[in-house]
Amino acid sequence: MSSDFKAGQLIAPPGSKVQGTLRVENSDLELPVTLINGETSGKTVIITAGTHGGEYPSVETAIRLANQLDPQNVSGRIAIVHVANVPAFHAKMQYVGPDDGKNFNRVFPGKALGTTSEKIAYTITTELYAQADFQMDLHGGDLHEALVPFVLYPSGVQEEIESVSKEAASLMGIRYVVGSLSTNGTYGSATTLGLPGFLAEIGQCGLWNEEEVTSYLRGIQNVLKYLKVLPGEVEDYGAITYLPKMAGVNADHAGCWYPAVRLEERVSKGQKLGEIRDYFAKILSEYFAPQDGVVLYVVTSLAINVGDPLVVVG
């Protein structure tokens, strides 16, 4: 028999589902959350969506998953944060939050008395990650990001955490599974608490469709079966391409961006990825692949500011 599942003021007794809001520490902000507590004990899984403002497939997936899951079929506990970055979601902002200009996925584990993004990260870390066994962070290609689906798992961490994270990531039904050394985002920071997990990307350019949501739901349910939180056999969704790391290039000029590569194109180190021109077509800067690999995402906007991501190669 499991015990009560608590997060902030939300309490889900064994065998129940509770939906409500989780108050952000030292703030009036509230996050929409669903707690699902099975009647039998098992792992506690935290699923976050809406980390960035325009990543809509993740949000729609979280909404549907929360309503589809039946606590009678759950062994353990599941917390779903439907929209983690509420301010950016409603402001329709990409990359950063409207209140502090910070990338929410670069401020974990957060600060209790920090900026809005830092307070949200702190609340998720202390209220949810602190009692979890596994985490999944769902993304979806921000407003100007064209991307091929991929999953990031923490590498260079404790062997067991890396192994479980990589194996679970491989069960999402997504071809590209990529190692990451990041420590200040959701999944990277979680490893410091001994928490395996991953970050998944499905969707692009601030859009969402049924196929993407269906793919997400199928993959998440498969991982929950692997964790024995849901009953049933784990399915094999086909070949996986493992990529050891990803590396990107960022703009060092403001101007107009002209990519020279396509999604999933295989590139060699030093190959030209694109260029930034001024308003008179003068080339301001050219960008080249930092490593051999596959193009995982390309920024699609003509307008580019200094520091904006341009291309990522895995």
Alpha-carbon distance 247 to 268, whole Å?
13
pLDDT of residue 1: 66
272: domain range? 246-313
pLDDT in tens, 81-106: 999 999 999 999 999 999 999 999 99
Q: Are residues 306 and 166 in the same domain?
A: no
Q: Are residues 201 and 280 in the same domain?
A: no
Q: Are 296 and 174 in contact (CB under 8 A)?
A: no
Give the burial class of 70: count Cβ atoms within 10 A of its Cβ; 0-12 exposed, 13-18 middle, 19 or more buried: exposed
Q: Are residues 107 and 219 in the same domain?
A: yes
**Residue range 44-51: average pLDDT?**
98
Q: Are residues 121 and 236 in the same domain?
A: yes
Would you say residue 188 has pLDDT above 90? no
Omega prior to 109 cis, within 30 of 0: yes
pLDDT of residue 114: 97
**Residue range 46-55: average pLDDT?**
97
pLDDT in tens, 239-298: 999 999 999 999 999 999 999 999 999 999 999 999 999 999 999 999 999 999 999 999
Q: Are 256 and 302 in contact (CB under 8 A)?
A: yes
**Residue range 224-229: average pLDDT?**
99
What is the number of domains present in the chain?
2
Place of tokens 């929409």: 32
Q: Are residues 289 and 162 in the same domain?
A: no
